[in-house]
Structure 1
Amino acid sequence: MKQPLGVILAGGLARRMGGGDKGLLPLGAGTILSHVVARLEPQVAGLALNANGDPSRFATLGLPVLPDSIDGFVGPLAGVLAGLDWAAEQGGDHIVTAAADTPFFPCDLVARLCAAGPGIVLAATADGRHPTFGLWPVALRDDLRAALQGGLRKVVQWTQAHGGVEAMFDDPGAPFFNVNTPEDLIKAESML
């Protein structure tokens, strides 16, 4: 398998944070999203951001911004599809996704997901699956598009139908800690 492309999923509505772009909130010397980019970029062959709305708000990142191709904020699978379509245009075979609000994921995420591949692989810990962190074959993009257009929204339901497996991350601490609330942002500052 050649080195996958990376896609940061930032297409959510951030309701628990009062709306807006959680990834653009300050964290340390940068933003939550700048920490995610710094972790994922060295692990992938190229990087893009899945986000809806005006892409210019992410201009400082210098990344392609991929909007969902399925209307209505249907969840993370729409972002995965946008990434798979972009990867197909780039000649990629796989993408690895990471959430824009999870700044401390493992620095060897991609290697560990790929080792469990080459099909769909979702990150998991003792706490459960982390379905926004996964390895996704570009070859399944048309199937995913049809599933989304047919009303499917559950990541695990679609991945299990395609033989998806889990890669266990038993790293100490909370490697997939995500910032969902103002209190989480305070905790993230202390975790830096």
Structure 2
Amino acid sequence: MRVVEPARDAPPGIILAGGQSRRMGDGDKFLRSLRGQPILRWVIDAVRPQTSALVLNANGDLTRLTSFGLPIMADDPPGQLGPLAGIATGLRWAAARDDYLAVFAADTPFPPDDLVHRLATALQAEDAQIAVPVSLGRQHGVFGLWRTSLRNELERAVIEDGCRKVGHFLAAHRVALVPFEAEPFDPFFNINRREDLLHAEDLAAHFQSS
């Protein structure tokens, strides 16, 4: 797959790879092979052109991810506190660079190539604090565009209030919901189980032939 350089006029982004992959058995599901490439490589190649800088958020032995050539940031606060901890880490990093942070999931190999653009358009049009995609009637909170001005509030929610679910935090804020078509497939299809990986193999064949 072709690796594309980041876009200078785009926001910085973070890929959330801090989950524990319980439903896939041992090991990181985003390191499983998909048509000869790790799932994470598919994600990186899809979202890197949509960002000005890109980092990975992961936990555990970070050296296992150095071959992807991106900076790696562990959760801060630490302790496997869920995706909000990863987003909080990213907001703190991004605040010195931009007013926004794009957020992506590491187990979703086929995100739209206009994702960040459409999220940014909706966020500005609705004067929202966060924009998240929607497909098949479902919000995908581990993707989104966040204002970095939320960083202190999010840290307090995670550390002091024990907030763990992205949806709970979103419910208390102005959120732009951005619909995406799910035909011929849902671009936010994520790989949780072995049967999902088999389905992804079929979808990946479409990308490699196009």
TM-score band by shorter chain is over 0.9
Comparing 130-139 with 170-179, greater Cα deviation is found at 170-179
List 4+ stretches of structure 1 deviating above 4 A.
Answer: none
Count residues in correspondence. 190
Q: Secondary structure at the match of 2:141?
A: strand
Q: Which amino acid aligns with 1:95?
A: L
Deviation, 1:74, is 1.7
Q: Which amino acid aligns with 2:170?
A: T
Deviation, 1:190, is 1.0
Q: Which amino acid aligns with 1:117?
A: L
Partner of 1:26: 33
Partner of 1:76: 83
User: Identity across aligned pairs (percent)?
Assistant: 45
CA distance in 2, matches of 1:126, 1:183: 20
- Normalised by the size of structure 1, how large is the TM-score? 0.94
- The answer to whether structure 1 residue 183 and structure 2 residue 189 are counterparts is no
CA RMSD, 1 decimal: 1.2
Deviation, 1:19, is 3.4
User: Counterparts in 2 of 1:29-48, with a 5 A limit?
Assistant: 29-48=36-55
- The answer to whether structure 1 residue 132 and structure 2 residue 142 are counterparts is yes
**Structure 1: runs of 5+ lacking an equivalent:** none
- The one of 103, 114, 130 equivalent to 1:120 is 130
Deviation, 1:146, is 0.3
Q: Which amino acid aligns with 1:153?
A: R
Deviation, 1:174, is 1.2
CA distance in 2, matches of 1:54, 1:87: 23
Comparing 12-21 with 157-166, greater Cα deviation is found at 157-166
Partner of 1:166: 177
- Normalised by the size of structure 2, how large is the TM-score? 0.87
Deviation, 1:75, is 1.2
Comparing 136-145 with 169-178, greater Cα deviation is found at 169-178
Q: Secondary structure at the match of 2:27?
A: coil
Asked if the contact 2:136/2:182 (under 8 Å) is kept, the reply is: no
- The one of 13, 17, 29 equivalent to 1:10 is 17
Deviation, 1:136, is 0.7
**Structure 2: runs of 5+ lacking an equivalent:** 1-8, 205-210
1:136-181 C-alpha deviation (Å, 9 max, x unpaired) = 1111100000000121112122122121121111241111110001
